[in-house]
Amino acid sequence: MSIPALGRWRARWLLLLGMPICLLWGGSAPPEEGAFPTDPRNAVNDYFAANNAAARHGPDAQRAFLRRTQHPDFRENTCSLAGRTVTIDPAPRTLRRDPGFTVRGLHPSGSVWVVAVEVTVRRSGEVVGRQIGSKHLVSLDGRIYGFAPCPT
């Protein structure tokens, strides 16, 4: 293969490889109303990191965190943790929208997302329960809200 032919070959491959990137970058839609304020996975990680930091400081700190981050439409729907703390470890790759989510038949304001999680419940520092499930978060007015857990 001659040098000019090699140059044309490289140019074609670069063009072919670059087209999908341009299409993805240039053809993306504007963010939806209620979208996470940053990368969704980062927002999820930040929310749960703050929850887990509050849990490490004890039941009172966690109760304050959960009250502060409870979805505004459902502020009266909180549970007593009865001296327990709840740490939540998400699987961010499972994050997806869940527009059909309701709480007692009511759709929360904002953009609803769901993520798979592992929940660990502790009382006085000792694990009393562990469960795998899902956790809903809502992006509303540039903030992330959740729904306080009710361990049983």
**How high is the pLDDT of residue 32?**
46
Strand order in the sheet with 84-97: 84-97, 111-123, 126-140, 143-145
List the chain pLDDT tens, one digit each, 152 residues: 555 554 554 444 443 444 333 333 333 333 444 455 556 778 889 999 999 999 999 999 999 999 999 999 988 767 778 899 999 999 988 999 999 999 989 999 999 999 999 999 999 999 999 999 999 999 998 889 998 876 55
State pTM to two decimals. Answer: 0.72
Residue found by looking up tokens 């709840």 in the block:
86
CA distance 81 to 149: 8
Rounded to whole angstroms, the Cα distance separating 51 from 88 reads 8
Q: Which of 80, 81, 89 is nearest to 130 (CA)?
A: 89
Please give the pLDDT value at position 4. 53
